[in-house]
Amino acid sequence: MSRIVLAVLMGMAMMTAGMISDAQAADAGKGKLVYAQKCSSCHGKEGKGDGPFGKNLTPPAANFTDPAGTAKKSDTELLDKIAKGGRGTAMPAFKSLSADERANVLAYIRAMAGK
Ligand code: HEC
């Protein structure tokens, strides 16, 4: 086997290992970047639902830090909302985000709620 083929195979094995570890541990640090770009205009910098676009909506953008609200809901329910949007509300469906990116942004939402 030539050295080049061997190097390519090793590279592919390393990339696969990296992908698996990403899927296992959601990364709130990466989620923070997505949040700042795509979510904070409605949900607010600190997740309180007070972003410039979010506070005047009906219903308003969710306050992630409300202990009786988002914090009580399951990951499955919230990931579904991020992927498919809030039916009949202003919450958009983020189909452009990968499953990993949605998990990362949810990890950041949980971190803002202090959970
Ligand atoms: C255009 C404004 C807008 C943007 C941008 C937006 N949201 Fe929302 N979001 C809403 C509104 C309004 C609701 C409340 C309605 C609902 O719960 O379906 C909501 C609800 C949610 C909920 C459900 C909370 C709960 O307690 O059920 C989650 C999770 C969420 N948003 C995540 C996100 C994430 C992650 C992003 C960025 C990738 C984002 N949102 C961007 C408006 C927005």
Structure confidence at residue 25 (pLDDT): 78
90 pocket-lining for ligand 1 (C-beta < 6 Å): yes
pTM for the model stands at 0.84
Structure confidence at residue 114 (pLDDT): 85
Residue range 18-27: average pLDDT?
Answer: 62
**Could you tell me if residue 85 is left (phi over 0), alpha (psi between -120 and 50 degrees) or otherwise beta?**
left
Question: Which protein residue has the closest C-alpha to ligand 1 atom 5?
Answer: 39
Q: How far is ligand 1, taken at its centre, from the CA of residue 52, in Å?
A: 14
Q: What is the mean pLDDT of the chain?
A: 88
Q: How far is ligand 1, taken at its centre, from the CA of residue 20, in Å?
A: 28
Structure confidence at residue 22 (pLDDT): 45
Residue 28 CB contacts under 8 Å (≥ 6 apart), including other chains: 104, 107, 108, 110, 111
Q: How far is ligand 1, taken at its centre, from the CA of residue 86, in Å?
A: 7
Q: What is the 3-state secondary structure (H, E, C) of 46-70?
A: CCCCCCCCCCCCCCCCCCCCCCCCH
Domains and CATH numbers, the chain: 26-112 (1.10.760.10)
